[in-house]
Structure 1
């Protein structure tokens, strides 16, 4: 993530230590010096997100990272970034909660990330990588989307992804000087009219117009940037919906139940916002059984239920608190609901009854 940010033209990083994402600021503290950038270990997450606002106003590609409680402290700043229409990248390497929780992998910050988290009507684009390669690729994409829509973009991983090691292919680095000029930045009004960037709009009608402008932008994000992966859906009679690390576990589970003859596939959201509502709704017309698997007590399941609009049964298998289920555990849940719904063929029913006998 750190190297991808540098190669994407990020030259400013402000953050505060918290496990399990400390490898990112540790890496950036040395790497940014090599490319003439600036690293600041702020005195708190509150300070770091406001430093991000300042660098974004000046037109820089800027980033901060943290983990769950630290991201909670940044929520006011995220609302300001959205209201000010400033591009920035924020990464959350999620740990167990609520409260101080633990440092184990979890996905329990889904509501916080996809509902804005802070105050007011706004949206944060949320990307959900499932591998180290995607951590790299989606970090670069996050900076591009932030600039394109002048909006904060969040990368949402988890503690397992923050500690795993995998091969990664990096693209060639870009020169920040080659990025498109941002004609709205605050660079000092020398030889041009002054510019103002603010979110304090006291007249209700003026603020309403600003909010509707943001809504139109968010509608464009939904139309253009919704992304997901389909896995073994061609003949699926049951579909698992999972993201990030949970989706990797789900793939292992699906391979196991496929060997048992169960026709199960996976839909993996790569953008948590915008959420892939349309493909899920279309899928629910032919698949009547969905199993949502997430490393939380159940949060994304609400978006899945809203997407299918009652056209399919939606079940949840959630493990909160940093517990990581094995593929065998998830396979057991898949087969339980598969058999319960009577989705197996007659020969499979016979085999199952024979095995039970």
Structure 2
């Protein structure tokens, strides 16, 4: 730790997980995230950990379930359709209140789609890709340094809330190269390993039972209400966003992840033309940062949601804006990113409407 290293995004994410104390990885290869398991297969044995390539994504997430029950730091990674296959297991893990980290380096869809970058898994990540009333804490970094920092923190967050935490990236982030520094995260008060290891046999004289099955409806309702209270606590304590050049903004771009980096360049271009544009960038997409949209200045004339999708985050933007200003959408899909000129043009169009 302490010096910058030029790394590919996927490799930086994997190394950040190891630096955070992850010692168990279970996964299955899929483009464009394959460098994550590839590096894990090399590095984990070097630090006394275990890498196992499962026979499928379904198997790998259930191995994560088992590993998480021991209190060890475990993770998996995949991309879009692979996460879909994991969705039942993720719901089980959330229901059993087990800590783990899941990385989704998003590719275009639906179906097998293509191997190029997209942001079309927003619904899947924030609305629960699987069944039941459950939520993931979802972190959406915009730079590789932020991705490294959030990955290292994600393991702490998983343990604090006894809940899966997802790092939501995209193919650009996985394949780009930037200089990163592996900085020690700010330490939080973490539960004792035995306290978080619900599968620890014989702890406090009781046989522990890892489960998400509650046949008594009143017991299941109480469990769901307990989980829901936990998600509310996440919203209270972990909601994060960045505002950029919002002080005098008359037009606001809402964007996250890689798209926000492109939007930032478009804002610079528009500012040179005398158009007052700012940006609100969600860093957590669950919990979503509604507050900066709820407190928009009356001078804001329009909001533009920009995504590499057909429009998924825009629903949350509209909830936050709540009619204070018109909300429009611009996006590219299929592995195509919006360009600086396209975003700038979409903002200019708002001025004419």
Match of 2:144 among 119, 123, 132: 132
Match of 2:224 among 211, 218, 234: 211
Residues 292 and 314 of structure 1 are in contact (CA less than 8 Å); yes or no, is this contact kept in structure 2? yes
SS at match of 1:92: strand
TM-score, length basis structure 2: 0.93
How does 1:331-342 map onto structure 2 within 5 Å?
331-337=344-350, 339-341=351-353
Cα distance in 1 for residues equivalent to 2:227 and 2:246:
35
Cα distance in 2 for residues equivalent to 1:162 and 1:192:
46
Cα distance in 1 for residues equivalent to 2:66 and 2:206:
20
SS at match of 2:195: coil
Residues 284 and 312 of structure 1 are in contact (CA less than 8 Å); yes or no, is this contact kept in structure 2? no
Counterpart of 1:290?
303
SS at match of 2:181: coil
How does 1:186-265 map onto structure 2 within 5 Å?
186-189=199-202, 192-265=205-278
How does 1:36-185 map onto structure 2 within 5 Å?
36-172=48-184, 180-185=192-197
Cα distance in 1 for residues equivalent to 2:286 and 2:122:
10
Counterpart of 1:4?
16
Rg larger in structure: 1
Cα distance in 2 for residues equivalent to 1:235 and 1:48:
49
Count of residue correspondences: 338
SS at match of 2:295: helix
Cα distance in 2 for residues equivalent to 1:285 and 1:273:
27
CA RMSD of aligned residues (A): 1.7
SS at match of 2:178: coil
Unmatched 5+ stretches in structure 2: 1-12
Residues 184 and 195 of structure 1 are in contact (CA less than 8 Å); yes or no, is this contact kept in structure 2? no
Offset at residue 193 of structure 1 (A): 2.0
SS at match of 2:177: coil
Offset at residue 188 of structure 1 (A): 2.7
Offset at residue 184 of structure 1 (A): 4.4
Cα distance in 1 for residues equivalent to 2:250 and 2:148:
34
Unmatched 5+ stretches in structure 1: 342-357
Give CA deviations for 1:246-296 in whole Å, capped at 9, x if unaligned.
000000100000000000001000000000111111116442310000000
List, as ranges, runs of 4+ consecutive aligned residues in structure 1 with deviation greater than 4 Å. none
Offset at residue 197 of structure 1 (A): 2.2
TM-score, length basis structure 1: 0.92
Residues 13 and 39 of structure 1 are in contact (CA less than 8 Å); yes or no, is this contact kept in structure 2? yes
